[in-house]
Chains A and B, each alone.
Chain A
Amino acid sequence: MVSKRFIAKRLLLLVPVLFGVATLVFAILQLAPGDPARVIIGQRASAEQIAQVRDDLGLDDPLWVQYGRFLLDAAQFEFGQSYKVAQGRAVRDVLADRLPVTIELALYGQVFGILLGIPLGVLSAIRQDSFTDHATRVGALTGISVPIFWSGPLLILLLSTYLGWLPASGRIGSTIFLPTSWTLFGMELPLTGMVTVDTLLVGQFDAWISAVQHLFMPAAVIGIYSMALISRMMRSSMLEVVRQDYIRTARAKGQGARITLMKHGFRNALIPVITVIGIQFGTLLGGAVLTETIFGIGGIGVTIVDAIGASDYTLVQGTVLTFALLFTLVNLGVDITYSYLDPRIDQ
Chain B
Amino acid sequence: MSPETTVDRRTFLKAAGGAAATASLAGCIGDGGDGGGDGDDGGDGGSGGTLVYARGDHPENYDPQQTTSGEVAKVTNQIFDQLILFTPGSGGALEDGLATDYSLDGESANVTLREGVTFHDGEEFTAEDFRATYRRFADDSYDYYLGENRSGYGPFTLGNWVDSVNVQGDYELEIQLTQQYAPFLRNLAMFAASVLSKTQIESLGANPDDQVALGTDPVGTGAFALDQIDNENQRVRLTANDDFWGDGPQVDAVVFKTITENSTRVQDVINGDSHITDNLDSQSSQQVEDAGSAELLSKDGINHGYMAMNMARREEFRSKEVRQAIAHAVNTEAIVNQIYEGFASQASQPLPPGVLGRNEDLDPYPTDKEQAEQLLADAGYEGGFEFELATFSNPRGYNPSPIETANQVKSDLEEIGFTVNVNQFSTFSSYLDYTSAGNHDACFLGWYTDNADPDNFLYVLLDPKVDLEDVPDGQDWVSFDTEGYSTLNVSGWANTEYMEMVREAQRTYDEASRRSTYQEANALAHEESPWVFVDYAKTLRAANEAVSSYTISSVGGPYLNTVTIN
Asked if chains A and B are in direct contact (CB within 8 A), the reply is yes
| Chain B residues whose CB sits within 8 angstroms of the CB of A42 once the complex forms | 3-4, 68, 151-153
Decide: B232 and A97 in contact? CB cutoff 8 A.
Answer: yes
Give the shortest distance, in Å, between A213 (CB) and chain B (any CB).
6
| Chain B residues whose CB sits within 8 angstroms of the CB of A305 once the complex forms | 12-13
**Residues 78-104 of A contacting B (Cβ, < 8 Å):** 81-82, 84-90, 94, 97-98, 100-101
Interface centre among A39, A43, A207, A294 (most CB of B within 10 A): A43
Q: Which of B3, B15, B24, B230 contacts A164 (CB 8 A)?
A: B24
- Say yes or no: is B554 at the interface (Cβ < 8 Å to chain A): no
| Chain A residues whose CB sits within 8 angstroms of the CB of B432 once the complex forms | 34, 38, 43
| Chain B residues whose CB sits within 8 angstroms of the CB of A56 once the complex forms | 147-149
| Chain B residues whose CB sits within 8 angstroms of the CB of A165 once the complex forms | 21, 25, 28
| Chain B residues whose CB sits within 8 angstroms of the CB of A310 once the complex forms | 12
Decide: A46 and B155 in contact? CB cutoff 8 A.
Answer: yes
Decide: B20 and A40 in contact? CB cutoff 8 A.
Answer: no
Decide: B427 and A33 in contact? CB cutoff 8 A.
Answer: yes
Decide: A87 and B235 in contact? CB cutoff 8 A.
Answer: no
Interface centre among B152, B216, B426, B431 (most CB of A within 10 A): B152
**Can you name the residue of chain A whose Cβ is closest to the Cβ of B450?**
A44
Give the shortest distance, in Å, between A189 (CB) and chain B (any CB).
17
Given contacts A33-B427, A44-B152, contact A177 B38 (CB under 8 A): no
Q: CB-defined interface of A29-49 with B at 8 Å, one 1/0 digit per residue?
A: 000011101111111111101
- Say yes or no: is A337 at the interface (Cβ < 8 Å to chain B): no
* Cα(A63)–Cα(B34), bound, Å: 51
Decide: B61 and A86 in contact? CB cutoff 8 A.
Answer: yes
| Chain B residues whose CB sits within 8 angstroms of the CB of A37 once the complex forms | 149
Q: Which of B66, B149, B153, B235 contacts A174 (CB 8 A)?
A: B235
Given contacts A49-B152, A88-B212, contact A168 B21 (CB under 8 A): yes
* Cα(A293)–Cα(B29), bound, Å: 23
**Can you name the residue of chain B whose Cβ is closest to the Cβ of A179?**
B228
Give the shortest distance, in Å, between A280 (CB) and chain B (any CB).
24
Q: How large is the interface on B (under 10, 10 to 19, 20 to 34, 35 or more residues)?
A: 35 or more
* Cα(A293)–Cα(B426), bound, Å: 21
Q: CB-defined interface of B60-90 with A at 8 Å, one 1/0 digit per residue?
A: 1101001111001000000000000000000
| Chain A residues whose CB sits within 8 angstroms of the CB of B155 once the complex forms | 46, 49
Q: Which of A49, A85, A171 contacts B232 (CB 8 A)?
A: A171
Decide: A52 and B9 in contact? CB cutoff 8 A.
Answer: no
Decide: A309 and B11 in contact? CB cutoff 8 A.
Answer: yes
Question: Interface segment, A68-76, A123-131, A152-160, A266-274?
Answer: A152-160
| Chain A residues whose CB sits within 8 angstroms of the CB of B260 once the complex forms | 296
Decide: B38 and A175 in contact? CB cutoff 8 A.
Answer: yes
Decide: A47 and B16 in contact? CB cutoff 8 A.
Answer: no
- Say yes or no: is B436 at the interface (Cβ < 8 Å to chain A): yes
- Say yes or no: is A347 at the interface (Cβ < 8 Å to chain B): no
- Say yes or no: is A135 at the interface (Cβ < 8 Å to chain B): no
Decide: B18 and A88 in contact? CB cutoff 8 A.
Answer: no
- Say yes or no: is A281 at the interface (Cβ < 8 Å to chain B): no
* Cα(A97)–Cα(B52), bound, Å: 23
* Cα(A165)–Cα(B28), bound, Å: 8
Given contacts A33-B430, A152-B16, A166-B25, contact A88 B50 (CB under 8 A): no
Decide: B34 and A173 in contact? CB cutoff 8 A.
Answer: yes
- Say yes or no: is A193 at the interface (Cβ < 8 Å to chain B): yes
- Say yes or no: is B31 at the interface (Cβ < 8 Å to chain A): yes
* Cα(A89)–Cα(B231), bound, Å: 12
* Cα(A294)–Cα(B259), bound, Å: 11
Given contacts A44-B153, A46-B486, A88-B61, contact A168 B148 (CB under 8 A): no
- Say yes or no: is B58 at the interface (Cβ < 8 Å to chain A): yes
Decide: B9 and A309 in contact? CB cutoff 8 A.
Answer: yes
**Can you name the residue of chain B whose Cβ is closest to the Cβ of A100?**
B232
- Say yes or no: is B273 at the interface (Cβ < 8 Å to chain A): yes
**Residues 25-47 of B contacting A (Cβ, < 8 Å):** 25, 28-35, 38
**Residues 414-470 of B contacting A (Cβ, < 8 Å):** 425-433, 436, 450
Give the shortest distance, in Å, between B236 (CB) and chain A (any CB).
10
Decide: A210 and B487 in contact? CB cutoff 8 A.
Answer: no
- Say yes or no: is A231 at the interface (Cβ < 8 Å to chain B): no
Decide: B234 and A81 in contact? CB cutoff 8 A.
Answer: no
Given contacts A171-B232, A298-B58, contact A160 B17 (CB under 8 A): yes
Give the shortest distance, in Å, between B305 (CB) and chain A (any CB).
13
Q: CB-defined interface of A163-187 with B at 8 Å, one 1/0 digit per residue?
A: 0111111111111110010000000
- Say yes or no: is A195 at the interface (Cβ < 8 Å to chain B): yes
- Say yes or no: is A28 at the interface (Cβ < 8 Å to chain B): no
- Say yes or no: is B390 at the interface (Cβ < 8 Å to chain A): no
Interface centre among A38, A156, A294 (most CB of B within 10 A): A38
Give the shortest distance, in Å, between A237 (CB) and chain B (any CB).
36
Decide: A294 and B17 in contact? CB cutoff 8 A.
Answer: yes
**Can you name the residue of chain A whose Cβ is closest to the Cβ of B12?**
A309
**Can you name the residue of chain A whose Cβ is closest to the Cβ of B25?**
A167
**Residues 219-254 of B contacting A (Cβ, < 8 Å):** 227-228, 230-235, 237
Decide: A88 and B63 in contact? CB cutoff 8 A.
Answer: yes
| Chain A residues whose CB sits within 8 angstroms of the CB of B29 once the complex forms | 167, 173, 206, 209-210, 213
Decide: A41 and B149 in contact? CB cutoff 8 A.
Answer: yes
- Say yes or no: is B364 at the interface (Cβ < 8 Å to chain A): no
**Residues 172-213 of B contacting A (Cβ, < 8 Å):** 209, 212
Decide: B259 and A173 in contact? CB cutoff 8 A.
Answer: no
Decide: A169 and B15 in contact? CB cutoff 8 A.
Answer: yes
- Say yes or no: is B383 at the interface (Cβ < 8 Å to chain A): no
| Chain B residues whose CB sits within 8 angstroms of the CB of A168 once the complex forms | 16-22
Given contact pairs A94-B231, A98-B232, A295-B17, a sample of 14 additional A-B residue pairs in the complex whose CB atoms are under 8 Å apart? A40-B68, A41-B151, A41-B152, A42-B151, A56-B148, A82-B60, A85-B59, A89-B60, A94-B60, A164-B25, A168-B18, A296-B259, A308-B12, A309-B394
11 contacts between A and B (CB under 8 A): A44-B153, A45-B152, A81-B209, A89-B60, A161-B20, A161-B21, A169-B19, A173-B34, A175-B34, A305-B12, A310-B12
Ordered nearest first, which 4 A-B pairs have the shortest CB separation? A309-B12, A160-B21, A296-B15, A169-B17
